[in-house]
């Protein structure tokens, strides 16, 4: 049986409308469905692979910026290097740590210093917060981004923070070094595409939906990759994150699926880290989950830390204090002596 493939065609911003018709005509004989991803990128399903002549002809259509044949973009994505030189995706774990929510400049500065001293590679902190209850604290928004930027200035730690909606992508990309997509948004497809297409080309940290399969996670990741392609970038700039799924077991907040980590590592498709904090729901389970994730091959951890967890404005129960985080980092160092 003939294998199918996908051709991705990126158009220039001012491409004439007929350009897409001309592309589709070149592929007429073997194409089936086609789809616009945003307005810049057309993907076309083909029976078999495009011929060299077809690819060349498409490339010559006025308004076409580039054409690429792909079976799957997520073949083998490269590790992600952060501005401070930390690398995520080599199997040597990097630890991203910080508060669930940014509460004030002082709070995030204190925590940034704590996690930096303990050896963290990057600072996390939510400023656009997805909350189950509409009455819970929703984050400091732009003011929170300013606080994060000051914490980076003071410590040199790269910033990881969430874009909750499509309208946040540009705002977050201006300040953050990594754009986080939360579990609840893993299948918010326009957000995935736009995050991948962010103008400065920041890497994306994509958290697994707690009701989603590994395959769905990998398909979501392809949307991010298509966004990059649409913005004229090479595949990459992606970190997956296993943060626990909802199972019939109610004893912990979620069930950390360490098998998913082993699976993704086995397929070698993209860097993957683990978030033991949101899986555990309680701080005493964070350490065992973190270590089991690393034993399964995780490329790093995302951990919630606060100077005074019981007073945190969100997720205090699952948040480590400075001493607990220090002990976790010691254990991580013992398990994986080459930690970055």
Cα–Cα separations (whole angstroms), residue 53 to 22, 27, 49: 14, 11, 11
Where are the extended beta strands (E) located within 84-207? 87-88, 94-98, 122-124, 159-162, 178-181, 204-207
Structural contact between residues 245 and 210, judged by C-beta atoms closer than 8 angstroms: yes
| Residue 321: both structure tokens together | 């204090």
Cα–Cα separations (whole angstroms), residue 167 to 73, 195, 286: 26, 10, 33
Please choose which of ligand PEP, Mn ion, none residue 130 contacts, taking the beta carbon within 5 to 8 angstroms, the exact cut-off set by kind.
ligand PEP
Q: Give the nearer residue to ligand PEP in terms of CB position, either 194 or 207.
A: 207
Tell me if 315 contacts Mn ion by CB under 5 A: yes
| Cα separation, 201 vs 230, whole angstroms | 11
CB 49 to ligand PEP: min, Å: 38
Q: Give the nearer residue to ligand PEP in terms of CB position, either 55 or 314.
A: 314
Tell me if 103 contacts Mn ion by CB under 5 A: no
Q: Give the nearer residue to Mn ion in terms of CB position, either 257 or 315.
A: 315
Q: Give the nearer residue to Mn ion in terms of CB position, either 100 or 206.
A: 100
Please choose which of Mn ion, ligand PEP, none residue 105 contacts, taking the beta carbon within 5 to 8 angstroms, the exact cut-off set by kind.
none
Please choose which of Mn ion, ligand PEP, none residue 243 contacts, taking the beta carbon within 5 to 8 angstroms, the exact cut-off set by kind.
ligand PEP
Residues that bind ligand PEP in the complex, under the rule CB under 6 A:
100, 126, 130, 162, 182-184, 207, 243, 275, 278
| Residue 171: both structure tokens together | 């705002």
**Selected range binding Mn ion among 14-22, 96-104, 217-225, 258-266, rule: CB under 5 A:** 96-104
> Could you say which of 7, 100, 192, 195 contacts Mn ion (CB under 5 A)?
100
| Cα separation, 6 vs 219, whole angstroms | 14
CB 100 to Mn ion: min, Å: 3
Q: Give the nearer residue to ligand PEP in terms of CB position, either 73 or 108.
A: 108
| Cα separation, 117 vs 226, whole angstroms | 38
By CB under 5 A, name the binding residues for Mn ion: 100, 315
């Amino acid at each position: 049986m003939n294998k199918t493939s996908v051709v991705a065609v990126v158009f220039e911003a001012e491409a004439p409308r007929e350009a897409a018709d001309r592309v589709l005509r070149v592929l007429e004989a073997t194409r089936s469905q086609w789809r616009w991803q945003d307005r810049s990128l057309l993907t076309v399903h083909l029976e078999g692979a495009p011929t060299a002549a077809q690819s060349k002809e498409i490339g010559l259509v006025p308004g076409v910026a580039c054409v690429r044949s792909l079976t799957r973009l997520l073949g083998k994505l490269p590790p992600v290097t952060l501005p401070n030189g930390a690398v995520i995706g080599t199997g040597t774990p990097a630890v991203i740590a910080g508060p669930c929510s940014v509460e004030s400049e002082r709070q995030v500065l204190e925590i940034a210093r704590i996690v930096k001293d303990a050896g963290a590679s990057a600072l996390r902190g939510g400023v656009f917060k997805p909350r189950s209850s509409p009455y819970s604290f929703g984050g400091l928004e732009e003011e929170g981004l300013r606080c994060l930027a000051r914490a980076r200035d003071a410590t040199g730690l790269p910033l990881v923070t969430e874009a909750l909606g499509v309208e946040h992508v540009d705002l977050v990309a201006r300040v953050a070094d990594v754009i986080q997509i939360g579990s609840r948004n893993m299948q918010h497809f326009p957000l995935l595409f736009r995050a991948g297409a962010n103008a400065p080309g920041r890497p994306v940290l994509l958290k697994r939906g707690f009701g989603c399969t590994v395959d769905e996670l990998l398909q979501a990741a392809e949307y991010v990759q298509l966004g990059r392609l649409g913005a004229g970038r090479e595949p990459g700039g992606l970190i997956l994150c296993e943060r626990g799924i909802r199972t019939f077991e109610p004893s912990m907040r979620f069930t950390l699926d360490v098998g998913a980590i082993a699976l993704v590592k086995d397929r070698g498709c993209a860097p993957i880290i683990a978030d033991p904090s949101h899986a555990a729901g309680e701080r005493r389970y964070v350490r065992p989950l973190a270590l089991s994730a690393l034993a399964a091959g995780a490329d790093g951890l995302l951990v919630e830390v606060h100077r005074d967890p019981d007073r945190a404005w969100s997720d205090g129960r699952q948040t480590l204090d400075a001493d607990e985080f220090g002990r976790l980092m010691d254990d991580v160092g013992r398990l994986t002596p080459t930690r970055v």
